[in-house]
Amino acid sequence: MALSQRLEVRQTQGLVMTPQLMQAIKLLQLSSLDLAAYVEGELERNPLLERASDDDGPAAEPAEAAESRDEPSPSDWTGDELETSRSAMEQGLGTELENVFPDDAAPRQAQPEAQQPAYSEWSGVGAGGSDGDNNLEAYVSSETTLAAHLAEQMTLAIADPVRRMIGQYLIDMVDEAGYLTGDLASVAEKLGAPISEVEAVLAILQKFDPAGICARNLTECLAIQLRERDRLDPAMQIMLAHLELLARRDLAGLRRVCGVDDEDLAEMTAEIRALNPKPGLAFGSTTVQPIVPDVLVRAAPDGTWQIELNSDTLPKVLINQRYYAQVSKTTRNDKDKSYVAECLQTATWLVRALDQRARTILKVSSEIVRQQDGFFVHGVQYLRPLNLKTIADAIGMHESTVSRVTANKYMATSRGIFELKYFFTSAIAAADGGEAHSAEAVRHRIRQLIDGETVDDILSDDTIVEKLKSAGVDIARRTVAKYREAMRIPSSVQRRREKHAATA
């Protein structure tokens, strides 16, 4: 068989992932906060982009229409703002014991984001036309960190330079909860100091504010706080040594080992519950951002659901075509023209990408509401099994697109705020061969059964399985145990012990 070379012309179809297409896909999965930060960066980089107010009209007029004008019409900006923006443009062209201690963290609530101060839309231009000499960051107060708080106290409590060095080393080992991580023997070895000296410095640090700081474990943390309150008596020391009994609510065992009656045991338990198991969280804690829903669902008068996007989470940007037409007439070389054209192309793409992202979120959310209508009407027990493919097939999109749209997005309903991925649950077969049940709905039924049990009728996992099967849910015992542990519900033995102790 002879080998020869020849030229052939073939026509094939393929998807080319351009940088703009890849960026548009990335925009789909960004949360509202990340999207706002991205748009803010584009506003600073692109002089043709500007923020849109609520009373603005269309997003942008066609570029051809703006270029076809002999004389550009006056911009909506004032003369000073136009000159400032022109200057900027030209410059740019030229250059775990949670059963003992209740979780006191406040629940995240859906609140509208606070109105942020308006930054200048043009790079290099200060707010109000100032020359930029004033540093606004100098007027912003900083939050005191735990390490700084402890170091400030150490300068007053320890005068010896060697002990200060040891103390600073130990302070650097304190985690955000206030506990000392690491071993004192290794610290002594690294610093070349006697272990007794390191222990003496640690004893000084443990007297600092807040009480319980620099403890090596939970027992020591609670003991430090009780010692400060003058309540570390022998009975309390025994209770601290048997915290696992308190975590299991084994009050009978605690009475036996502590040698106290019911009244004293109740007082001791109340005192321990009043302590702070993580004293360091009061300093330098990370601010938790409130959840801002992306989609709002309301009941319409006709019995349907009204679905709309939250306008507060949608960045509003416009393309200033008048300014583009004015600047494009003043360009003198190919480099300037290329820069202006690139800015216009990027701005146009961003406006279209944001609009497409909003339409896609609304389309996916509408289909989710349609599929889970029973949940919105009757509650979580009517949540249907749902997967990405069902939504993708219904709206004519790919599963990966639906997965990106539902990531980091939240929906505000009359039953609360839920992540969009909450509505996608696995299916559990029905005992009678009927419609499958949602895993979330089954978990809700398990919780209802356990909440309704009495002291004399504690339900075991096998009993829960029998009750669910009688209700038409075919589920295994290990699945019930897995769901119960995921909801942090103790076993039937521990629940029986707790209920008897509560009624004793």
In a domain, 87, yes or no: no
Which of these three, 282, 299, 322, is where a domain ends? 282
Sign of CA dihedral 383, 389, 390, 394: positive
Residue 76 has pLDDT above 80, yes or no: no
Specify burial of residue 28 (Cβ count, 10 A radius: 0-12, 13-18, 19+): buried
In a domain, 494, yes or no: yes
In order of 8, 243, 247, 389, the CA distances from 492 in angstroms are 75, 21, 15, 38
Lowest mean pLDDT among 104-118, 348-362, 445-459: 104-118
More confident residue, 351 or 53: 351
Lowest mean pLDDT among 30-39, 126-135, 350-359: 126-135
pLDDT in tens, 466-480: 888 888 888 888 989
Q: What mean pLDDT is predicted for residues 396-414?
A: 91
d(CA 137, CA 116): 15
What six digits make up the tokens of 430? 């029905």
Residue 146 has pLDDT above 60, yes or no: yes
Query: How does DSSP classify residue 180?
Result: B
d(CA 183, CA 202): 12
Which pLDDT band holds residue 120 (cuts at 50, 70, 90)? very low
In a domain, 358, yes or no: no
Place of tokens 């202006």: 340
Place of tokens 């606004």: 136
What six digits make up the tokens of 360? 């896609």
pLDDT in tens, 161-197: 888 889 998 998 999 889 998 889 888 888 888 899 9
Which of these three, 282, 305, 325, is where a domain ends? 282
What six digits make up the tokens of 218? 């939970």
pLDDT value at residue 201: 92
Q: Are 319 and 48 in contact (CB under 8 A)?
A: yes
In a domain, 289, yes or no: no
Residue type, 292: V
pLDDT value at residue 80: 40
Q: What mean pLDDT is predicted for residues 428-445?
A: 77
Residue ranges making up the domain that contains 237:
146-282
Pairing status of strand 437-438 against strand 427-428: antiparallel
Q: What mean pLDDT is predicted for residues 84-103?
A: 42
* Angle formed at CA 464 by CA 462 and CA 470, multiple of 5 degrees: 105
d(CA 75, CA 227): 72
Q: What mean pLDDT is predicted for residues 410-423?
A: 89
Contacts with 307 (C-beta within 8 Å, 6 or more apart), sequence order: 295, 296, 297, 362, 365, 366, 369
pLDDT value at residue 94: 40
In a domain, 351, yes or no: no
Q: Are 292 and 312 in contact (CB under 8 A)?
A: yes
pLDDT mean across residues, the chain: 79
Residue 447 has pLDDT above 80, yes or no: yes
Pairing status of strand 317-319 against strand 305-309: unpaired
What six digits make up the tokens of 321? 């075509």
In a domain, 263, yes or no: yes
In a domain, 291, yes or no: no
pLDDT in tens, 32-68: 889 999 999 999 999 989 887 655 544 444 444 334 3
> For the chain, how many structural domains are there in total?
2
Which of these three, 238, 261, 282, is where a domain ends? 282
**CATH number for 497:** 1.10.10
More confident residue, 124 or 189: 189
Contacts with 271 (C-beta within 8 Å, 6 or more apart), sequence order: 226, 229, 231, 236
Residue 205 has pLDDT above 90, yes or no: yes
Residue 119 has pLDDT above 60, yes or no: no
